[in-house]
Structure 1
Amino acid sequence: MAPRQKSSIEPEKALRASTPKEIQATLWKAADKLRGSIDAAQYKEFVLGLIFLKYVSDAFEERRNELAKELTEDGISEDQIGDFLEDRDEYTAARVFWVPETARWSWIAANAESQGVGELLDEAMDAVMRENAALTGVLPKIFNRDSVDQKRLAELVDLIDDVPFGDTEGRTSQDMLSEVYEYFLGNFARAEGRRGGEFFTPPSVVRLIVEILEPYEGRMYDPACGSGGMLVQAAKFIEPHQGAGHKADIAVYGQELNERTWRLARMNLTIHGIDGDLAARWGDTFADDKHPDLRADFVMATPPFNIKDWARDESDARWKYGVPPRNNANYAWLQHVVAKLSDQGTAAVVLANGSTSSARGAEREIRRAMVEADLVACMVALPAHLFQTTQIPTTLWLLAKDKSSQDRKGLTDRRGHILFIDARGTGTMDSRIERVLTDVDLARIANIYHAWRGTASARAEGLAYADEPGLCVSTDLATVREHGHDLAPGRYVGAPKTATQPLRELQARSSPLMRDLYAIFE
């Protein structure tokens, strides 16, 4: 076989890339050159499908090398070793996907120029799905099309083959590829603008939800999971707190409406080593609940804001607190989430600010009923510009089925009270249009909630809750009733103590007319 021609996408830059950020940027620049020759709606699947194939292939090769070493150490002959290396059970027992020879990345890269890369990739995707039932219908077969620039595709395969994924800052190839996958998801969301919000929640918002909920063990559910970022972050949260061996302590469930996004989510969970149940296919959470009997310990969601076209059934048993209006699904999401909670479950849902104080009859009555049922634990007003896809201000709702001490958990009894946090002044602008919550912001907001609730982590750190004007206040339900069950945090927390100067100081520095005005208000 003639040696293949090397890529013209400057492979030397890929080889020089030594940090995760450099590798990610190099790959993104190379992949972006294919954009014009691919249907925009399929571009995400196209590029992320390549990364996924590289991931499963690398995982297979890593297991193959481990197996060869084990067999050699056990004194197995070379002839027998060859048979064992092609034994499917040796891989599936180690929770590694079986990859047929012609679907392995090394084989594809070696034959890309001579046999047609698009055809090889489509056949590889089909073979991997055929050999692994868990991936049935997940991988894209869109590479061998007339509209796809096969030369650029071959160059991209070359480049991915050249990048030193497994030799960067002590990380494995699989670690690096999972980070590349996340990086690409974020870039796709930015590139697609408003439509990007359909599959991607900003990482700092995801981290805030996970840091507050502290999902160490139990069942976790996202009813509008998009590309699966929330579920991935929740599973990743466990490792630094409980250890990598405890990742299986969380059972992950999700549902997604869009077929292509559902595929991305399935790949995202897999590439992060998470056995999640996203159902056998995509579906509308309201019209076709894929997990009807699920009762979750944690529910987290950033559903589409203010959607008007939704599958509304007035007789739905989920509408325990009132039938949501036809022209807005915000309170349908909230009630669906409550219906999914276990007896001591907790949920975090990000919605548009209008949900906190809507005066529409149905929404006002549902909000009143939920408050009176003592389901609302905490409301967090979030800063603007967190979501690239919309400028709508947002609020994080924290709902709890049981706000008591819960006996063995030793929590602070918060029945009949709601915590309000005004975090609109937090975050820093990461770009001209995007704000992110820093580690300090995340810790501060989460610690306020943990201290108020008296969680184990708060007790371990010696945190004690106290109201702080302008930031947080714990309010009883009687006060919320006085405000017409309005749940906007700004209505309750007041102004910071340092927000104004002493009146006398201002008077001394003012004109005679202004001094007369100040005197009126003394």
Structure 2
Amino acid sequence: MKKLIDEVNKISHKQFGEEKDLIGRVYEYFLKEFAVNATKEEGEFYTPHDVVQLIATMIEPYDGTLYDPCCGSGGMFIQSAELVESKQGDINRINVYGQEKEPATYRLAKMNLALRGISHNLGDISDSSFLNDLHKGVYFDYIMANPPFNLKGWYDSTLDNDPRWADYQRPPESNANYAWILHMLSHLKKQTGVAGFLLANGALNDSDTIEIRKKLIQKDKVEAIIVLPRALFITTDISVTLWILNQNKKARNYHGRNLRNREHEILFMDLRTWTENPVKGESKKKVLLDSTQIEKAANIYHTWQNEGTDGSHYEVPEFYRSVDIGEIEKNNWSLIPSKYIKFIDHDLEINYEREMSRIQVEMQEIMKQEKKSQQMLEDAFRGIGYGIE
């Protein structure tokens, strides 16, 4: 193992940048170069560091237990630990739990966490979180995850009456998005659990999952929906949404903040225009979220949560808006942010009288020049004895 680590440490940072999670970055590199586990069918992509930082900054997993049911190389855990350390916290106060289906990636995650001294329990084997939940009956303070997008082939007949969706509806066999949601929800602590995870945008309004989505909203499990910019992932340009679930949206103290009662409200945020930070040196367009943007997004979310905020008037057009459950019901339980965030018709801002006067002057000048050109053409033909009057 020492020889392997020595070789990894020889890799030039010119190729990978100044990344602390270098092993995970090497994994990302091979995903990009060889498309290992990154086909559209698999839907599995290494989570960019800035996206992990966004999730962690929003849900603040500073202490307690943190779970990832599809943990990959452990990047979610590494970035969360670094966030805790940056806040002068103690990573020994975080206990990490995870599960990974791919044997090679499972071994990589265990090595990645061990090297950083992060206490972890990834189970004794690599296996599917659906078919063999290695942490059955365990409830966690926080969940952070980037499940494979639109995963097929997840279902088995043994899952027909699984207790994870007993209170909802069995998720469709053709797509695991809502199976992941219900799996994670089943592992959150009943009164304090918070989850932040990524899903493809299709999950916001799938017709075959409307009953599950309706119950999630009615049971007040969904706290925030944040649409992210495209091109955040190196290996795909699929459009992605960050979901935040919260088991308790009532007024309480959370990490020193006094939260207001947010029952029957959901915060929608649209970050699709945050594309001004291109990543250099990539063969395809890729953007990242910088620390200022991450802090801005987290501040919008935290301010919405905090005492003193009026959720019924919390909005900035084309950016974010707090919405009550009644409006969501009227939109047939859709969670697409564009149905709720106001978009401005910028044409209405035009001063038509002034604009038409400007156009009039321009057209008068054009017509004047046209008459001058016509006269010059007539004079030229007349000069050679071929008048064209």
Query: TM-score band, normalised by the shorter chain?
Result: 0.7 to 0.9
- The answer (yes or no) to whether the contact 1:194–1:388 under 8 Å persists in 2 is no
Corresponding position of 2:250: 404
Preserved CA contact (<8 Å) 1:341 1:347: yes
Gaps of 5+ in 1: 1-47, 55-155, 166-175, 460-464, 513-522
How far, CA to CA, are the matches of 1:207 and 1:308 in structure 2?
Answer: 28
Using the TM superposition, give the Cα deviation of residue 392 of structure 1 relative to its aligned residue in structure 2, in angstroms: 1.8
Provide the identity percentage: 34
Cα deviation, residue 390, structure 1: 2.2
| Residue 226 of structure 1: how far off its partner (Å) | 0.6
Task: Please state if 1:358 is matched with 2:206.
Answer: yes
Deviation, 1:407, is 5.3
Equivalent residue number for residue 508 of structure 1: 355
TM-score when normalising by structure 1? 0.60
- CA 1:439–1:235: 2 relative to 1, 3 Å: same
**Structure 2 residue 103 is matched with structure 1 residue 259:** yes
**Cα 1:49/1:491, change in 2 over 3 Å:** farther
Root-mean-square deviation over aligned CA pairs: 2.8
Q: Which residue of 1 aligns with 2:30?
A: 188
Would you say the 8 A contact 1:216–1:242 is kept in 2? no
Q: Give 1:20's aligned residue.
A: none
Corresponding residue number in structure 2 for 1:482: 330
1:477: Cα distance to partner? 0.2
Cα distance, 1:492–1:264 mapped onto 2, change above 3 Å: same
Quick one: which of 169, 174, 182 aligns to 1:327? 174
SS in 1 for 2:84: helix
Matched position secondary structure for 2:203? helix
- 1:479 Cα deviation after fit: 0.4
Partner in structure 2 of residue 292 of structure 1: 136
User: Residues 178 and 271 of structure 1 are in contact (CA less than 8 Å); yes or no, is this contact kept in structure 2?
Assistant: no
Q: Secondary structure at the match of 2:195?
A: strand
Shift of 1:307: 0.9
Distance 1:387 1:277 in 2: 28
TM-score by length of 2: 0.80
1:412 Cα deviation from its structure 2 partner: 1.5
Task: Judging by fraction of residues, say which structure has more helix.
Answer: 1
Aligned residues: 338
SS at match of 1:418: strand
- Tell me if the contact between 1:199 and 1:261 (Cα under 8 Å) persists in the aligned partners: no
Q: How does 1:17-32 map to 2 (within 5 A)?
A: none
Aligned-partner residue type, residue 191 of structure 1? E
Write out per-residue CA displacement over residues 6-59 of structure 1, whole angstroms, 9 at most, x where no aligned residue. Answer: xxxxxxxxxxxxxxxxxxxxxxxxxxxxxxxxxxxxxxxxxx87443x4xxxxx
Question: In structure 2, the residue corresponding to 1:377 is in which secondary structure?
Answer: strand
Q: Distance in 1 between matches of 2:231 and 2:36?
A: 13
For 2:174 and 2:129, the matched residues in 1 are separated by 17
Deviation at 1:203, TM superposition (A): 1.0
Shifted more, 185-194 versus 305-314: the winner is 185-194
- Aligned equivalent of 1:441: 293
Q: Which runs of 5+ in 2 are unaligned?
A: 361-389
| Structure 1 residues 223-260: Cα deviation after superposition (integer angstroms, max 9, x where no partner) | 010111001111111111034xx111111000000000
Rounded Cα–Cα distance in structure 1 between residues aligned with 2:20 and 2:324? 45
Partner of 1:348: 196
Shift of 1:295: 0.6
Could you say if the C-alpha distance between residues 177 and 370 of structure 1 is closer, same or farther in structure 2, counting changes exceeding 3 Å? closer
Residue matched to 1:372 = 218
> In 1, Cα distance between the equivalents of 2:273 and 2:344?
11
Cα deviation digits, residues 289-347 of structure 1 (max 9, x gap) = 01012111101111001111003412000002111001011000000111010021110
Match of 1:467 among 315, 320, 326: 315
The reply to whether residue 413 of structure 1 matches residue 261 of structure 2 is yes
- The alignment partner of 2:315 has SS state of coil
1:384 matched to 2:230: yes
Equivalent-residue separation in structure 1 for 2:36 and 2:218 (angstroms): 36
CA distance in 1, matches of 2:147, 2:226: 16
Q: Is the 8 A contact 2:194 2:247 kept in 1?
A: yes
